[in-house]
């Protein structure tokens, strides 16, 4: 008997028995293969003097191979791009995580199931709006000439504030619009974790005379600690992703000094200036740093026995 055939036969039986589940996985697998793994081949142009006519394989290798990375690091805009990206991304992180946790806890405390579902639906809907639509809403509210907010300011003070072209207001607007759009969606994971907490813990706490806030701090928050840590790890891994769609839709030349991030610069360099090698080098640098930060924070989280792997 050929024992090497036994695992193969067993595997075939397992695949056939669970064929419906594997078929459901195929679209997701195909998506990641086509749009996440296949494009990795193009990363080699970061080490080449890429020419559209010659193609990836025909383009000569850069001399030295790190030429485009060095060009970015020596450029006068490198520090500004990194600063803007980190400040915007960290501001969103610091604001979004506590607000999403608070909102999830608030939803879980609503006694009426029907009212809770209505609130959930209303707060989830903005997530499905594109940033162009959100920008239109923000502009309608804050426009210096016809915006609702400026109409109220004009009636109260006789002056107006050009929110959309103010460097001082641009970053706060990014954070606030991100909170409005994503808080309901971000709260889904935390709300699911809260629902999964054993209800007998709350009943025992009530018997012992614990109030609502004491139960939140001693039962709810410790009960979702692992979820909080995992979500923080994922967000830290994407710390250099400050939100291209949002920034590109809302920024302009007057706020470029505080709003130009790595992704918007890569877009301009690659697609408008056709410097694909430099843009790819910067994109690859961002990906490597993000991966390194994720691994480092995951190792740190292991001290609290909470990690991704």
Grade residue 5 by pLDDT with cuts at 50, 70 and 90: very low
**Per the domain annotation, does 56 fall within a domain?**
no
**Per the domain annotation, does 18 fall within a domain?**
no
Grade residue 69 by pLDDT with cuts at 50, 70 and 90: very high
How confident is the model over 167-175, as a mean pLDDT?
Answer: 94
User: Would you give the distance in Å from CA 225 to the centre of its chain?
Assistant: 20
How confident is the model over 191-205, as a mean pLDDT?
Answer: 89
**Per the domain annotation, does 155 fall within a domain?**
yes
Q: What is the DSSP string of the chain?
A: --TTHHHHHHHHHHHHHTHHHHHHHHHHHHHHIIIIIGGGGGGGGGGB---TTTHHHHSPBPSSTTHHHHHHHHSTTHHHHHHHHHHHHHHHHHHHHHHHHHHHHHHHT---HHHHHHHHHHHHGGGGS-HHHHHHHHHHHH-TTT-HHHHHHHHHHS----GGG-HHHHHHHHHHHHHHHHHHHHHHHHHHHHHTS-HHHHHHHHHTT--HHHHIIIIIHHHTHHHHHHHHHHHHHTTT---HHHHHHH--GGGHHHH--HHHHHHIIIIIS--HHHHHHHHHHHHHHHHHHHHHHHHHHGGGT----
Grade residue 57 by pLDDT with cuts at 50, 70 and 90: confident
| pLDDT on residue 174 | 95
**Per the domain annotation, does 271 fall within a domain?**
yes
Grade residue 304 by pLDDT with cuts at 50, 70 and 90: low
Q: What is the DSSP string of 247-292?
A: HHHH--GGGHHHH--HHHHHHIIIIIS--HHHHHHHHHHHHHHHHH
| pLDDT on residue 305 | 59
For residue 3, pLDDT beyond 70: no
pTM of structure:
0.85
Instruction: Answer yes or no: are the C-beta atoms of 52 and 43 closer than 8 Å.
Output: no
**Per the domain annotation, does 240 fall within a domain?**
yes
How confident is the model over 238-255, as a mean pLDDT?
Answer: 90
- Taking only the tens place, the pLDDT of each residue in 258-287 is 999 999 998 988 888 888 899 899 989 988
For residue 207, pLDDT beyond 50: yes
**Per the domain annotation, does 241 fall within a domain?**
yes
Query: Which region among 7-21, 129-143, 145-159, 222-236 has the lowest average model confidence (pLDDT)?
Result: 7-21
Q: Which domain holds residue 271?
A: 70-304
**Per the domain annotation, does 44 fall within a domain?**
no
Q: What is the DSSP string of 17-48?
A: HTHHHHHHHHHHHHHHIIIIIGGGGGGGGGGB
Using alpha carbons only, give the angle 171, 168, 182 rounded to the nearest 5 degrees.
20
For residue 8, pLDDT beyond 80: no
**Per the domain annotation, does 140 fall within a domain?**
yes
**Please, what sign has the CA dihedral across residues 168, 169, 170, 174?**
positive
Say how many domains are in the chain: 1
CATH number of the domain at 85, please: 1.10.3720.10
């Amino acid at each position: 008997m050929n024992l090497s055939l036994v695992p193969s036969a067993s595997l075939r039986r397992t695949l056939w028995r669970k064929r419906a589940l594997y078929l459901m996985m195929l679209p997701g697998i195909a998506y990641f293969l086509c749009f996440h793994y296949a494009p990795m081949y193009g990363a080699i142009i970061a080490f080449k003097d890429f020419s559209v006519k010659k193609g990836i394989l025909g383009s000569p290798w850069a001399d030295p191979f790190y030429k485009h990375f060095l060009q970015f690091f020596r450029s006068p805009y490198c520090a500004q791009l990194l600063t803007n990206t980190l400040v915007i991304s960290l501001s969103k992180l610091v604001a979004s995580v506590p607000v999403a946790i608070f909102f999830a806890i608030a939803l879980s405390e609503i006694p009426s199931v029907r009212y809770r579902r209505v609130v959930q639906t209303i707060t989830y809907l903005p997530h499905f709006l594109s940033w162009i639509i959100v920008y239109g809403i923000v502009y309608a509210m804050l426009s210096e000439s016809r915006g609702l907010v400026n109409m109220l300011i004009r009636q109260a003070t006789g002056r107006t504030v050009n929110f959309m072209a103010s460097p001082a207001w641009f970053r706060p607007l990014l954070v606030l619009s991100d909170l409005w759009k994503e808080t309901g969606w971000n709260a889904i994971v935390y709300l699911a974790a809260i629902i999964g907490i054993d209800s007998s813990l709350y009943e025992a706490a009530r018997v012992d005379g614990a109030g609502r806030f004491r139960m939140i701090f001693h039962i709810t928050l410790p009960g979702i600690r692992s979820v909080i840590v995992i979500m923080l790890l994922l967000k830290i891994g994407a710390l250099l992703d400050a939100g291209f769609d949002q920034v590109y839709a809302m920024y302009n030349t007057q706020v470029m000094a505080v709003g130009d991030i790595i992704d918007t610069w890569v877009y301009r360099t690659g697609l408008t200036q056709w410097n694909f090698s430099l843009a790819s080098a910067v994109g690859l640098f961002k990906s490597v740093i993000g991966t390194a930060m994720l691994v480092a924070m995951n190792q740190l989280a292991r001290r609290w026995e909470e990690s991704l792997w």
